[in-house]
Amino acid sequence: MQIQIVAVGKLKEKYLIQGIAEYVKRLGPYARVQIVEVPDERAPESMSAAEEALVRQREGERILAQIKGDAYVVALALDGKPLSSEELARHVEELATYGRSHVAFAIGGSLGLAPEVLARAELKLAFGRMTLPHQLMRLVLVEQVYRAFKIMRGEPYHK
């Protein structure tokens, strides 16, 4: 299986980079993982709604440019569907069973995802109702993808 994570912004925090690298390494036997960082749009602290929409649109264009046409797109969104780890594992397994072997996860910037990205997504996924920093979301996501593969294979997950 091919897992792609397309995220807005460049990670600078060493602990996040190391954590993500560890889970990508652990995923090696199960899937090919590609993490693509697209530049975030420069934005002032205070913006009008129109300016915020323009930032999301530009970041969304960058995200969509990285996703192949045959990819099953999962958008991380606060108003998405919350899944348990087991439910995510079943969903990924069903995708693989039915020939959807390229899954692309989209993580927006600090203002969220553009409507165009949400429209392209076949699943909007929420990791609960709490807002998490988009940089931290990458680590949480890659850990949950790893956990999903362990569940799918019936292997123990070492805590």
Binding-site residues for S-adenosyl-L-methionine sit at 76, 108, 127-132
Residues in the annotated binding site: 76, 108, 127-132
Distance CA 136, CA 119 (A): 24
Name residues whose C-beta falls within 8 Å of residue 109's C-beta, 6 or more positions apart in sequence: 8, 9, 40, 41, 55, 56, 59, 134
Instruction: Return the closest-CA partner of residue 148 out of 68, 30, 61.
Output: 30
Tokens of 84: 């348990």
What is the DSSP code (8-state) at residue 44? -
Positive or negative: CA dihedral 39, 44, 46, 50: negative
